[in-house]
Amino acid sequence: MGLTLITANAEEKRILAYTGIAHAVSDAWHIIFPALLFLIAVDHPNFFFLGVLANITVASRAVSGVVAGFMADRYSSRMLYGAFAILSAIGCFVIYLTSGTVMLGVGLFVLGVGTGIYHPVGLSSITRFVRRRTEGLGIHESAGSLGLSLFPVLLISIGIAYGWRSAFLLGGFVSLVPLFLLPLIPARFDKPRDESSDQDTGWSEVLRVFTSKRVLVMYGAVVLLEASSTGVETFLPVAIADIGGLGQGTIGGISTTGLFLSMMILIGVPGSLLGGMIGARWGSDRTLAVMTLAPLPILALFAVLTGNAFLALAPILRALTNARSPALNALIGANLPAGMQGKGFALMYGISPAVASLVTLAAGAVAEAYGLKWIFPLGGVLLIAAFPLAYLGHRYAKAEASAKGP
């Protein structure tokens, strides 16, 4: 099976182009605080406190994701994309202007609210209107990673040269890019649902769907996987600087840590594309089960490795994490009716960050008490807990396919 996404018209390409750019901005602001953490730590040298700050963004993103997902089933996607851009920009500008910890927390809160809007809205647009879902989501993930790979080196270099707050100033202006690109979205894709969906789905039907055995198992796996990713990725950049030994070094004025992060994210792009292709061939359930276990050896080794050995495995971990994402997102679209997919992504990007916020706090406490390296086995424990649920989802999918017959 080839990689090419088959589209009969230009509209699907336009929505993928817009969501790819918006995804790059959204994910960049998910990583902006972790990427600058080793610089922020100079002013705030306590990992538990930094975990609390990260938790503010994660928690506000969770609440925002729930609200945005429910709104995505009813209101204009352009309106929601516009709110994502504007609130993200305001959050970045507040952080730039702040001089104390309270306003830093306020800025991170607003930034979390803004960035939390994107994923439920963007992913439901793709799962509703792009026919080859898993490959489309793989392309979406790859486009986001391509853009995202440019940001760490730029932001960290600015942070080293002019101070970490200046990186957020640039972030504020970049946040507005999706606002000016809204005309890319085809008019019929601005509708909250396609014409074939039920506009007035009753809550009894919503409850029936979301309490089905397969959907409950799916969400259990999703929550644990997202919690593991958030905990690991929050502290991975500072681990690259400290454990990997890159620190605040520069090459021609460009941060070596930033360069490495950009390279690592770029290497994740083939992982996204591969995950999309494997998901299209194997099915999302089976792919998710396999990709859940794949990062475990690396997370275990990170507890003992340092220097170049640590740096050599970090990009592979990123690629494996990216490979899981298309299957994970495609399951929401596959298991839920079109009129409920906003709610589906609302729960995914609402409940998952809520649990992840607790994991981030725990990771910060572990790092402060025992050292950064012990965060990674903690992420591995969550993957082990997620695997039985992911495997059950695969078994339920096979049983349903057998019941339907050839």
DSSP string, 172-198: HHHHTHHHHTGGGS-GGGGSSS-TTS-
Nearest to 347 by CA among 206, 192, 193: 206
pLDDT for the residue 85: 94
Q: Measured between alpha carbons, how far is residue 221 from residues 103, 116, 386, 392 in Å?
A: 35, 20, 5, 10
The span from the CA of 84 to the CA of 82, in Å, is 5
Chain centre distance of CA 296: 19
Lookup: tokens for 220: 């259990």
Kindly report the backbone phi and psi dihedral angles of residue 251, in degrees, each rounded to the nearest multiple of 5, phi listed first. -125, 110
The span from the CA of 297 to the CA of 293, in Å, is 9
Residue 163, sorted as left (phi over 0), alpha (psi -120 to 50) or beta, turns out to be left
Kindly report the backbone phi and psi dihedral angles of residue 150, in degrees, each rounded to the nearest multiple of 5, phi listed first. -80, -25
pLDDT for the residue 8: 42
DSSP helix/strand/coil, 9: coil
pLDDT for the residue 197: 45
- Which long-range CB contacts under 8 A does 75-78 form with residues at least 24 apart? 75/192, 76/190, 76/191, 76/192, 77/121, 77/125, 77/185, 77/189, 77/190, 77/191, 77/192, 78/182, 78/185, 78/190
The span from the CA of 189 to the CA of 16, in Å, is 11
Nearest to 50 by CA among 229, 226, 238, 224: 238
- Give strand pairing partners of 255: 250
The span from the CA of 318 to the CA of 402, in Å, is 35
Lookup: tokens for 149: 């790979």
pLDDT for the residue 2: 42
Burial label for 369, CB within 10 Å (0-12, 13-18, 19+), is: exposed
The span from the CA of 380 to the CA of 375, in Å, is 9
The span from the CA of 105 to the CA of 210, in Å, is 34
3-state helix, strand, coil in the chain (%, to 5): 85, 0, 15
Which residues of the chain register pLDDT less than 50?
Answer: 1-8, 194-200
Chain centre distance of CA 186: 25
CATH for the stretch 10-189+201-404: 1.20.1250.20
The span from the CA of 58 to the CA of 358, in Å, is 9
DSSP helix/strand/coil, 199: coil
pLDDT for the residue 405: 56
The span from the CA of 286 to the CA of 256, in Å, is 38
pLDDT for the residue 86: 95
Kindly report the backbone phi and psi dihedral angles of residue 294, in degrees, each rounded to the nearest multiple of 5, phi listed first. -55, -40
Where does 130-283 have alpha helices with state H? 133-148, 151-162, 164-175, 177-180, 203-210, 213-242, 256-282
Q: Measured between alpha carbons, how far is residue 225 from residues 236, 359, 387 in Å?
A: 16, 11, 9
Q: Measured between alpha carbons, how far is residue 13 from residues 5, 121, 186 in Å?
A: 9, 17, 10
Residues 6+ apart with CB under 8 A from 358: 227
